[in-house]
Amino acid sequence: GQNIDQPTEMTATEGAIVQINCTYQTSGFNGLFWYQQHAGEAPTFLSYNVLDGLEEKGRFSSFLSRSKGYSYLLLKELQMKDSASYLCAVHYYNNNDMRFGAGTRLTVKP
Amino acid sequence: SAVISQKPSRDICQRGTSLTIQCQVDSQVTMMFWYRQQPGQSLTLIATANQGSEATYESGFVIDKFPISRPNLTFSTLTVSNMSPEDSSIYLCSAGGQGDEQYFGPGTRLTVT
């Protein structure tokens, strides 16, 4: 199976830091994606981790540990516009297939 | 990055009819996919659209219900056949190169009455 688990909802305060975890039970995948999806819109790419470790891109960072079977997305200096769903997806290279978690709905409050 | 457009953006259809959704990419891509996203849920892969051959369907999805075409490297269609209210959903096309990130179209919001 490819169980991909994320918390359903999270709430954080503007200006704070939040970590969204994603655990998975699969192997043989190429990498792990994080996407952001605002209500009523298509998902947009945030990050892609192939190697273990932390990838930083501005306010967003993503971490992968294959041995521990988990990833996280770290959002710093939260802004109101960061209120959205965050989807992690396991990526298989051979057919470019992606399997998505259920998504985490983040609400940023003033 | 690839820019992907979909038509129609939304539609309201009657039970028993069929709707064809078009997906156009602004550059040639190796892989194209169709996803469904039901209200409040994450994305579920329907099928991989293969250029020049039959699509590869995921468990729970069949060609008779969701016929797919991909005549070239920039275009694909998904038909939702003999629709029922359970087919009400957002249908998303995505595209990417082998091993690359996938880009998503804006989606087609389908309501079946």
Q: Which parts of chain B register pLDDT below 70? A: 97-100
Confidence of residue A95 (pLDDT cuts 50, 70, 90): low
Residues of B in contact with A98 (CB under 8 A): 33, 45, 102
Rounded Cα distance between B6 and B22, Å, is: 5
Rg, chain B, Cα only: 13
| pLDDT for res A16 | 97
Average pLDDT, chain A: 91
What are the CA-CA distances from residue B24 to residues A104, B71, B87, B93 (Å)?
A: 29, 11, 22, 9
- Residue B53: the pLDDT is 83
Distance between CA atoms of residues A73 and A89, nearest Å:
12
pLDDT for the residue A94: 67
| Closest in A30, A35, A96 to B96, CB measured | A96
- The confidence score (pLDDT) of residue B85 equals 95
Least confident span in A60-64, A93-97, B104-108: A93-97
Task: Tell whether the model's pLDDT for residue A2 goes beyond 70.
Answer: no
- pLDDT confidence of A3, banded at 50, 70, 90? confident
- pLDDT score of A29: 83
Q: Which residues contact B91 (CB under 8 A, 6 or more apart)?
A: B6, B21, B34, B35, B36, B37, B46, B78, B80, B107, B108, B110
The CA distance from A110 to the nearest CA of chain B, in Å, is: 24
| Interface touch A96/B98, C-beta < 8 Å | yes
| Tokens found for residue A90 | 């396991």
Measured CA angle at B30 (ends B25, B34), to 5 deg: 65
Q: Tell me how far apart the alpha carbons of residues B51 and B54 are, in angstroms, rounded to a whole number.
A: 8
Is pLDDT above 60 for A46?
yes
Contacts of A44 in chain B (CB under 8 A): 104
Cα(B23)–Cα(B102) distance, rounded to whole angstroms? Answer: 14
Rounded alpha-carbon distances, angstroms, from residue B32 to A36, A53, B67: 20, 29, 14
What are the structure tokens assigned to A5, written together? 């688990």
pLDDT reported for residue B40: 78
- A1 has pLDDT over 60: no
Looking at residue A5, its pLDDT comes to: 94
Q: What pLDDT was estimated at residue A110?
A: 95
The answer to whether A49 touches A64, Cβ cutoff 8 Å, is yes
pLDDT at B92: 95
Q: Do B98 and A93 touch (CB under 8 A)?
A: yes
| pLDDT level of residue A36 (50, 70, 90 thresholds) | very high
> Cβ–Cβ of B45/A95 closer than 8 Å?
no
Do A98 and B102 count as a contact with CB atoms less than 8 A apart? yes
State whether residue B15 is helix, strand or coil: coil
The per-residue pLDDT for range A8-20, each reduced to its tens digit, is 999 999 999 999 9
Distance CA A82, CA B13 (A): 34
Q: In chain A, which among 50-79 make CB contacts under 8 A with chain B?
A: none
Number of H helices, E strands in chain A: 0, 11
Nearest to A33 among B44, B56, B101 (CB): B101
By Cβ distance, the residue of A44, A96, A100 closest to B43 is A100
Chain B CA closest to residue A89: B43
Contacts of B100 (CB under 8 A, 6+ apart): A96
Indicate which of B37, B102, B111 best probes the interface with A, i.e. most A CBs within 10 Å of its own CB. Answer: B102
What's CA B101's distance to the chain center, in Å? 17
